[in-house]
């Protein structure tokens, strides 16, 4: 369904650089190293499509990919860089806010959470940003293959508790492993059935 239909469109550094809003889009947000590039590559079945978000120079860009003729997948800059200069952080936060509140064709945000770590304060901040922008967001747990079955419930409960505080949260949590392919078909079908 998805494989081989994706291409990199462009990296955007300002609202004026966004591609025409001629199709629906979903965006992906998450702390650096959460597994965002791996997830986008797994979703699209295109290895090396999304580069690691910590590739120098790409961290402040909103990266657009096509997904077939009808969708854009949008890779938001990774957040949670402890040592990024304040001016840089402020610049992309501004862009992020403008994008989230101004993009008519944005249908859903996926907030990626490392299944080993649960929701961190910076994740909570991005969720609040999504609340204020009134963008429905859904949590995607990454690296679920790294979590023991007996620990899954505890991390899910922590995430559910965090989501309960956010009016824009969509309650269903998607468990994924880009490595094992778990949850990838589910996420694809969520994206393709969005109106």
**Shortest distance, CB of residue 83 to ligand GDP, whole angstroms?**
15
Give 87's contacts (C-beta < 8 A, 6+ positions apart).
none
Q: Does 79 bind ligand GDP (CB under 6 A)?
A: no
Q: Which is nearer to ligand GDP, 28 or 72 (CB)?
A: 28
Binding part of the chain for ligand GDP, among 1-9, 161-169, 171-179, 187-195 by CB under 6 A, reads: 171-179
Measured from the CB atom, the residue of 20 and 121 that comes closer to ligand GDP is 121
| Binding to ligand GDP, residues 7-26 (CB under 6 A) | none
Instruction: Give the x/- contact pattern for ligand GDP in 93-132, rule: CB under 6 A.
Output: ----------------------------------------
Contact call for residue 78 and ligand GDP (CB under 6 A): yes
Q: Does 183 bind ligand GDP (CB under 6 A)?
A: no
Can residue 46 be called a binding residue for ligand GDP (CB under 6 A)? no
DSSP string for residues in the chain: --TT-EEEEEEESSGGGPPP--SEEEEEEEBTTSSHHHHHHHHHT-TTSSPPTTSTT-TT-EEEEEETBTEEEEEPPPB--TTS-HHHHHHHHHHHHHHHHH-TTEEEEEEEEETTT---HHHHHHHHHHHHHT--EEEEEE-GGGS-HHHHHHHHHHHHHHHTT-TTEEEEEEE--TTT-TTHHHHHHHHHH--
Task: Please report how close the Cβ of residue 63 comes to ligand GDP at its closest, in angstroms.
Answer: 11
- Rounded to whole angstroms, the Cα distance separating 8 from 74 reads 10
Count of residues engaged in binding ligand GDP, rule: CB under 6 A? 19
Residues of the shown chain interacting with ligand GDP in the complex, contacts defined by CB under 6 A:
30, 32-38, 52-54, 78, 142-143, 145-146, 177-179
């Amino acid at each position: 369904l998805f494989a081989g239909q994706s291409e990199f469109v462009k990296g955007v550094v300002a609202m004026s650089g966004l591609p025409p809003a001629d199709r629906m889009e979903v965006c992906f947000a998450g702390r650096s190293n959460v597994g965002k590039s791996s997830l986008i590559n797994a979703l699209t079945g295109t290895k090396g499509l999304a580069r690691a978000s910590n590739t120098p120079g790409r961290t402040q860009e909103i990266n657009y990919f096509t997904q077939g003729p009808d969708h854009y997948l949008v890779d938001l800059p990774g957040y949670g860089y402890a040592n990024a200069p304040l001016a840089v952080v402020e610049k992309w936060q501004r862009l992020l806010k403008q994008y989230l509140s101004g993009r008519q064709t944005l249908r859903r945000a996926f907030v990626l959470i490392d299944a080993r770590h649960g929701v961190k304060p910076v994740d909570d901040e991005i969720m609040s940003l999504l609340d204020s922008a009134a963008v429905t967001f859904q949590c995607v747990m990454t690296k679920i293959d790294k979590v023991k079955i007996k620990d899954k419930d505890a991390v899910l409960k922590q995430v559910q508790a965090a989501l309960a505080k956010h009016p824009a949260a969509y309650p269903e949590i998607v468990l994924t492993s880009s490595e094992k392919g778990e949850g990838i078909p589910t996420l694809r079908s969520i994206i393709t059935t969005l109106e």
